[in-house]
Amino acid sequence: MGQKGDETRDRLLDAAQGLVESRGYFGTGLNQVIEISGAPRGSLYFHFPRGKDQLIGESVLRAGRSIGEALEAMAGSGATVAELVATALGHLGDRLEESGWSRGCPVATVALETAASSDALQEVCSEVYASWERVVRTRLDGRPDADDLAVMIIALIEGALLLAKAHRSRDPLDRVARQIGVLLG
């Protein structure tokens, strides 16, 4: 695929990601994706021949990888897990606040809305969460409870994002960051 094709595909993925994060899977229509991306209708079906689930799945994977790469970069800098989580929550909080409290986690809404009805999207969401857990688990290397702690930390982050969105406040994010620091010593 040429540069123009890649750019069109990226615009479609960007539009889908933004819509899904702010409106959810069921609140996102393909016509909206086309309108926001400025891509021709035929391009949507060319790049995503399996339709909406393929488009949303790839946008979730892409967004998840982006966050995973940021976590890996922070982990590679020698940050402790508590520092990694505090930094991640700070960035996610900035993103949430800047969007008017509409854009939280790029995975959570899709997981909540589709995990029971779409095996393909459930697998994508599971893959993204597992990749984030691996980054955290790697930083907890040597602890016998690393697997459990990694899942708990991701769950706390997700819960904090949900509460921050519901309260329209960063306070839950700050509290979770502090408590993870206390928990991990």
What phi, psi does 145 have (nearest 5°)? -105, 20
The pTM (predicted TM-score) of the whole model is: 0.91
Contact 56, 128 (CB under 8 A): no
Distances in Å between the alpha carbon of 83 and those of 74, 138, 158, 166? 9, 14, 17, 25
Q: Is 57 exposed, middle or buried (0-12, 13-18, 19+ CB in 10 A)?
A: buried
CA separation for the pair 75, 93 (Å, rounded): 19
- Tokens at 146, concatenated: 């690393």
Question: What pLDDT digit, counting tens, does each position of 8-60 carry?
Answer: 999 999 999 999 998 999 999 999 999 999 999 999 999 999 999 999 999 99
Return the residue matching tokens 């597992």: 130
Contact 53, 121 (CB under 8 A): yes
* Share above pLDDT 90 across residues of the chain, in percent, rounded to a whole number: 82
Give the residue extent of every domain in the chain.
Answer: 3-184
Residue of 52, 64, 67, 84 whose CA lies nearest to 126: 64
Question: What pLDDT digit, counting tens, does each position of 90-119 carry?
Answer: 999 999 999 999 998 889 999 999 999 999
pLDDT of residue 182: 94
Residue of 134, 136, 114 whose CA lies nearest to 125: 114
Residue of 97, 22, 87 whose CA lies nearest to 59: 22
Contact 128, 69 (CB under 8 A): no
- What does CATH list as the number for 3-184? 1.10.357.10
Residue of 120, 113, 110 whose CA lies nearest to 50: 120
Type of residue found at 65: R
